[in-house]
Structure 1
């Protein structure tokens, strides 16, 4: 199959899309949308997030050294888009959207009650890169909606109706797994015939 070549760009798609809540030292809250985000380490649990320096949340997270990463559902897609195009410098998005907050456990920043998962994070470092700066965030606590746990305590992400972002559009994540980690090399058990 022939391929076309494009100049170097960030064409890593799809990407998770999240709503990040942050709070400055005066107690002012903000929420904004981020799609440049990824897990980068398991122990300690570290997430990398790219933020433009002109964003209000950049200042809030830098100042408070914490934030909460909220994983939105398909029912929250309008909120996700709104929080990505409206500035917290001009309006209180949390109030205007009627978002309910849930008090932090390990941080002073609240999470969004509507989001089924909330990762409470502490800022480890900021590295200037260009249009965005790289924030490394240590996950201190994870809140999970109780109804997403099965009877054995396993988290059922496939039941959460999470969404992703791909080249300017939002998509729901299909809830049917294509396989599980290691399935391609898993040994098959032989059935003995009597």
Structure 2
């Protein structure tokens, strides 16, 4: 296949579409959508998010040196898009999207209850890069909805219906696996067994007690599946 050459650009796709909550010294809370987000270290666990200096959340995070990464489900797609194109200087995005905020005694910045996974981070370093500055945050705690855990306590992210952002479009995370880590070098004796686990159904084990109910508040907005005829190319930047 012939390759076409393009000038250097931020072409890495797909990327996670996350909601980042932050708080300033006066107690005001804001939320913004970030696509430039990634795990950058295992020990200590660290996450990096890139934000333009002109964003309101940039000011808030720089004041308190904290932020919370909230992983949204696909039913929050409209809210994710809204929080990426509207500014907290013009309106209260948390109120507009009917988000419910939760608090944790050990952490100042609130989290979004509607998101199944919340990752609390303390800023360790800010690196100016160009259009964006990189905030390196050490993960202090993670909050995960109990209905994403199996009987052994393993987190099943495929049950969360997470979303990704790819070249101006939002996509749901597939619930079926195409391979398990290490399967390419697995021994032949165990390979047959390991391949059986490649297809992951989006449900809980039958022997798991169904006493846990999903009490997450529902948004009063509906996901808008129509594509914009004039996409905002500056989204998440």
Which digits, 9 at most, give the CA deviation of each residue in 1:117-167, with x for residues without a partner?
A: 000000011111110001101010000000000011110111100000011
User: Could you say what secondary structure the match of 1:126 adopts?
Assistant: strand
Name the structure 2 match of 1:151.
151
Deviation of 1:105 after TM superposition, in Å, equals 4.4
Which digits, 9 at most, give the CA deviation of each residue in 1:48-69, with x for residues without a partner?
A: 1110000000000010000100
Counterpart CA distance in 2 for 1:61 and 1:106 is 17
Counterpart CA distance in 2 for 1:46 and 1:148 is 22
* Residue 101, structure 1, aligned to residue 93, structure 2: no
Return 85-94 or 97-106, whichever deviates more. Answer: 97-106
Name the structure 2 match of 1:3.
3
* Residue 46, structure 1, aligned to residue 43, structure 2: no
RMSD: 0.9
Q: How does 1:1-194 map to 2 (within 5 A)?
A: 1-189=1-189
Counterpart CA distance in 2 for 1:51 and 1:183 is 37
Give the TM-score taking structure 2 as reference length.
0.79
User: Could you say what secondary structure the match of 2:63 adopts?
Assistant: helix
For these two proteins, the number of residue pairs brought into alignment is: 190
Counterpart CA distance in 1 for 2:69 and 2:48 is 11
Which digits, 9 at most, give the CA deviation of each residue in 1:10-37, with x for residues without a partner?
A: 1110001100000000000000000001
Q: Which runs of 4+ in 1 moved over 6 A?
A: none
Deviation of 1:106 after TM superposition, in Å, equals 3.1
Deviation of 1:188 after TM superposition, in Å, equals 2.1
Counterpart CA distance in 2 for 1:134 and 1:156 is 29
Which 5+ residue runs of structure 1 have no aligned equivalent?
none
Give the TM-score taking structure 1 as reference length.
0.96
Counterpart CA distance in 2 for 1:102 and 1:91 is 20
Counterpart CA distance in 1 for 2:158 and 2:132 is 31
Give the conservation status (yes or no) of the 8 Å contact 1:106–1:140: no
